[in-house]
Amino acid sequence: MQRPDEEKRKTILRVARDLFSRKPYHEVLLDDVAAAARVGKGTLYIYFESKDHLYLELVTEAFDVLLDDIDERIRADAESNWKLLEDLIALLAKWMAKHPTMFDLMGSNIHPVRRDALKQRRRRLGVCFEAVLRRGVEAGEIVDAQPELTAQFIPAMVRSGVVYGRRGLKADDIASQVVTLLTRGVRGRS
């Protein structure tokens, strides 16, 4: 995807990500984006087809970085599926802390057509975890009757920790609590 000025493109995306992280979609004006990126408003349309497309690229880009990281980790043979799972959770927590509103963004602000591109990413994330879980099940490391649900739960837990957790909570704290839950739940052995 070679563009006239790849640098400028990056700047716009970075600046836009900032704005979209702070305000809801409809409160972020392209005037603001242009001003913050120090470019003319028309320039935005050289690099992005529309506000929706800019927004979409923004979110998917961040997402894709995560998904790539996850893929890479998965491919790098881990010592066990459980260890891999722990690593992925740590990865996820760190990423989520950096993009605290990225999942909110997925909300429903965007045009339905574009929305699907986002849902698909979110789903892929689940699929990654599901795969690891299933392999763990096969390997006897994991016992889970509904791994596809658990796979959805994991990112959801991480996100809720980041978004609703008390101030000062570290990504590691969240990750370790998720792991604890997956390890033994919270029920006392009586």
Which of a copy of itself, DNA, none binds 67 (CB below 5-8 Å, type-dependent)?
A: none
Which of DNA, a copy of itself, none binds 51 (CB below 5-8 Å, type-dependent)?
A: DNA
Cβ count within 10 A of residue 54: 21
Question: 134: buried, middle or exposed (CB in 10 Å: 19+, 13-18, 0-12)?
Answer: middle
List b or e across 155-165, with b for residues whose CB sees 16 or more CB atoms inside 10 angstroms: bebbbebbeee
Tell me the C-alpha distance between 111 and 33, whole Å: 19
Q: Which residue has the tokens 């795969």?
A: 131
Q: Which residue has the tokens 């470019």?
A: 39
Q: How far is the CB of 99 from a copy of itself (least distance, A)?
A: 14
Which positions touch a copy of itself (CB under 8 A)? 23-26, 82, 101, 104-105, 107-110, 122-123, 126, 133, 136, 140-150, 152-153, 155-157, 159-161, 164-166, 169, 173-174, 177-178, 180-188, 190
Tell me the C-alpha distance between 149 and 168, whole Å: 29
Rg (CA), the chain: 19
Which positions touch DNA (CB under 7 A)? 1-5, 8, 26-31, 34, 38-43, 45-47, 50-52
For the chain, the farthest-separated pair of C-alpha atoms sits apart, in whole angstroms, at 67
Q: How far is the CB of 11 from DNA (least distance, A)?
A: 10
- Indicate the residue among 30 and 179 with the shorter CB distance to DNA: 30
Q: How far is the CB of 165 from a copy of itself (least distance, A)?
A: 6
Q: How far is the CB of 70 from a copy of itself (least distance, A)?
A: 16
Which of DNA, a copy of itself, none binds 61 (CB below 5-8 Å, type-dependent)?
A: none
Q: How far is the CB of 56 from DNA (least distance, A)?
A: 12
